[in-house]
A and B are shown apart, each in its own frame.
Chain A
């Protein structure tokens, strides 16, 4: 498993140079505005905003395609059923299979919202180093406990995944497979016990490692107020403020258009 999000953070683009706190607020506002959209006529506008935003980021299209694949499959699982079960106006019928107009509209709405929100989220995390994102969140009021937990989980995740892979290999080399020597599959209970022992050992190792990590952190001054410069303190450039104002204006316009049409 490799985190490929950091692969494009060294590129130069207006989105890359956008100050992280402003970028975070701007992207989240846009995401919220996209989530508000219910009217079908707003969908092309939403897609257009997304495409322009993505082109500004200068991220390659392959990055988007790769990142859309897995959540896209999951979305198909949920949205794929909607045209057949939701709505009253029959659009097409063949034997007992019926496609409803309202269901198709709902599926299009959800898929477009999904695409736009995920793309903006990818722009945010694909153009910002993870540590800067965490510092920005901390500056915006994230609890130090949550920030520290996130940083440490991220730091040790790969070690623990590697540990788990080694332990699985070792178990298999010692003859613990899902097959009995006779070639028959092990009973469910035995398989669950094996897996419980594997995960239990992983938890114990992680727990013991955390004790060592905590002691090392304490020796380096962890918990002392003076030693926690985890927030972004640099002044925000005017261009970043302007970009934030523009993004917020776009988001507000979308929300206003949505509510205006709902009431008219």
Chain B
């Protein structure tokens, strides 16, 4: 879900950089509010590398194989570190593999990063809405599912909107709307799959290493 170089006009690329700068500033401001902001850096970096490696894996689901986006999961685990982590991951992907591009770096960071922050807030709302003793595995799984599915869903919505509405030659408005709806409906199975996978992963971590899910409480809560 990365937009390559050359597709978008310069105004959108610059807008993407501006929005990315603003969101990065906001995320870093929140990170700097904790007692020792540098403490979370190695954790965020190594977990970014782990997510990066995992996103390269394809799991066979006939008739095709899929690889997960994992931006929702990144938000769940890293909280405010998720946006800088995605920025770093996208930068390395652009440099190392040519996924995305330097002109669309800001736009791609918005596509992947802002849904990650939304997913993080969604998952964290569980703590606000339900007391600790009422938090069952089903509840945790449901919130993780919503976080994972919304991460991909929002990213797909922004991605296709940007691509379709910014094609240089005019599509007619109805064709644009039909294409956007079709592409988004086609992503519903992927959203469900990513949501289910995020739920399974969160439940696994809650059972084996719960402090990993509480990383953000140790740094700063969304």
Contacts and interface: CB of A to CB of B under 8 A. Distances in A.
A57 to B, nearest CB: 16
Interface in B61-109: 61-62, 77, 84-85, 87-89, 91-92, 94-99, 101-103
A120 B28 CA distance: 30
A164 B102 CA distance: 28
Contacts of B170: 86-88, 102
Interface in B26-76: 28, 31, 36-39, 41-50, 52-54, 56-57, 59-62
Which interface residue of A82, A116, A118 has the most chain B CB atoms within 10 A? A118
A207 to B, nearest CB: 5
A154 interface: yes
Interface in A93-138: 100, 102-103, 105-106, 109-118, 121, 124-125, 130
B209 A207 contact: yes
A143 B101 contact: no
Interface residues of B, number: 71
A200 B205 contact: yes
B197 to A, nearest CB: 6
Interface of A is mostly: helix
Contacts of A145: 28, 31, 37-38, 41, 84
Contacts of A124: 102
Contacts of A56: none
Question: How many residues of A sit at the interface, in one of the four size bands?
Answer: 35 or more
Contact of B53 (A38, A160, A204): A160
A117 B204 contact: no
A195 B50 CA distance: 14
Given A145-B38, A153-B48, A206-B47, A164 B57 contact: yes
Interface stretch (B3-11, B111-119, B123-131, B132-140): B3-11
A217 interface: yes
Q: B98, B163, B169, B201 — which one has the most chain A CB atoms within 10 A of its CB?
A: B169
Nearest to A31: B103
Nearest to A125: B95
Contacts of B208: 200, 204
19 contacts: A5-B95, A31-B102, A82-B167, A87-B169, A105-B168, A105-B169, A117-B103, A145-B31, A145-B84, A146-B88, A150-B91, A152-B46, A153-B49, A153-B92, A157-B49, A199-B54, A203-B50, A203-B209, A214-B39
Interface of B: 2, 4-10, 13-14, 24, 28, 31, 36-39, 41-50, 52-54, 56-57, 59-62, 77, 84-85, 87-89, 91-92, 94-99, 101-103, 163, 167-171, 175, 179, 193, 196-197, 200-201, 204-205, 208-209, 212
